[in-house]
Amino acid sequence: MEKATRVCSKRTYENALKLLETRRRKARPKTSHATNTTSTSATANQSSVKAGSSLRGTPSLMGMKDWLRKIGYTDRDIAALNIVHVAGTKGKGSTCAFVRSLLQQYGKRTGFPKKVGLYTSPDLTCIRERIQINGTPISEDLFTKYFYDIWDRLFVRHAEDENLPQPQPRYLQFLLLLAIHTFVKEGAQATIIETHHGGEYDATNIVPAPVVTGITSIGLDHLAQLGPTIQDVAWHKAGIFKSGSLAFSAPQDPEVEAVLRSRADEKDVQLEIVGVDQSVPRDANALRAPVQRINCSLAIALVSAFLSRKSPSDEKALRREDIENGIEHFSWPGRFEVIKTPNCTWYLDGAHNELSIGQAVQWFAEMTRYTAEGSSSMVIFSHVSEERDGPSLLRALARALEHSGVRGPEMVFTTYQERRDGMVRLDIDKTLKPPEDESLKELPKQYCDMWKLMHSDARTRFEPSIEEALEYADRVGSERGGKLQVLVTGSLHLVGGALYLLHQEQADGL
């Protein structure tokens, strides 16, 4: 650590990122503390991880209270941020973004909240996306200033005081501490925090008294840490429920809802399942994907509950105009996002599990159903993961395309390499790096053959970088008079790289 501090002694944004990288662990733990997987037990808690939880590795929550104390914050300071805490498998980011947008619109009309903080992950185009004020990532200067505030208190002073607690925060834990510090210093009057992966043992569960908690759709994901069953996953997600706070959930499968209700009873929390809100406009572009109507409805319930408790205004309810304006100004990078360039219309969604890939294709089909005569479609896909089964996701993509009515799109497969020259951006999210397993690195090339086995007459192509895949699509779009509709999906890394490159192209005026 002394060497890292000495090398990065100049307090720049670049050096802050280098120091942050030193806090990554080399690999996620594969072994479990548990001897069984009865994590749905109502008696499981942080002190009984070894006996009753299926959690793998060390709980990310451990150490957070000590670290918060070392940087100068108490439970009362955290509660004063007026936190909306959101967990789930799919739709967490979108739901948080809807909450942020709705609160901002209400705040513009009433004066509260003036500042809305948002902490989320992962980032797609820069690390600062994870920490936002009023929908805008904090600046490089602000990130750097607050980074070194925390770094000095936890690492520089640690080197001088052997009595400080061990271990020290890892990457995500440090970012959460940085976010909390930022929101306090910037005077956030409402704060939205998205969990990292789970809930019960997640670092974000340091929140002692959220105003309201929300659970988005729960599915089978991150099973190595939260599984093996969907009931186990639900048990972890519901860990964010707190006595004295309100709790809401999107509609769930019966077995999931049963676990959520059991955990709500355990924690003395009233849980409400939220269906589609009939007040949401039917023709809004942001709600073309059916799942976004669910996420928006959950967000409306969360904001309404938040305002009933925290708004100083005599009028504590959202108006229809707040909802309509909130939806109109909603944005969430890489989730059901549309970008138009002269030769193509790009539809980007970082779907990386079978549930979300189906939703992405359904949205793409709906958005392109009435495109101009002569339009054609293309899909750019990549998925390479040690935790998820890429070929199974590819088969799910094939099924979804067949059922959606999107017939015979040209398929372009690529890697996670962003540029053809291999250059890596300074603040790209390196958690989305290619796997170390050599056999997986060849998988993108193999997708072409796999697709041919499912569709013998299909047009397929492999491009070694995201940049080359986009350039190929652009050339095809030019040949077809700008009528090419391109779905980019299968990986947050792929979508993040595509977004960055497309934004660069627009900025350069190309």
State yes or no: pLDDT of 436 exceeds 60. Answer: no
pLDDT class for 499, splitting at 50, 70, 90? very high
What residues contact 94, with CB distance under 8 A and at least 6 apart?
A: 292, 295, 332, 335, 336
Looking at per-residue pLDDT, the higher value among 73 and 436 belongs to 73
Q: What is the DSSP string of 188-209?
A: -SEEEEE-SS-STT-GGGG-SS
DSSP 153: I
DSSP 129: G
d(Cα 446, Cα 455) in Å, to the nearest integer? 14
**Three-state DSSP state, 269:** coil
Q: From 3.50.50.60, 1.10.1060.10, 3.40.1190.10, 1.10.10.1200, which CATH number describes the 81-114+189-328 domain? A: 3.40.1190.10
24-74: pLDDT as tens digits = 876 655 443 333 333 333 333 333 333 234 555 568 999 999 999 999 999
Q: What is the pLDDT of residue 157?
A: 65
Q: What is the pLDDT of residue 39?
A: 37
d(Cα 130, Cα 123) in Å, to the nearest integer? 6
Is 335 assigned to a binding site? yes
CATH class of the domain defined by 337-507? alpha beta
Q: What is the pTM of this model?
A: 0.88
Q: Where in the chain is the domain with CATH 3.40.1190.10?
A: 81-114+189-328
Contact 336, 349 (CB under 8 A): yes
d(Cα 348, Cα 339) in Å, to the nearest integer? 8
Q: Where in the chain is the domain with CATH 3.90.190.20?
A: 337-507
475-489: pLDDT as tens digits = 999 999 999 999 999
Is 39 assigned to a binding site? no
Is 222 assigned to a binding site? yes
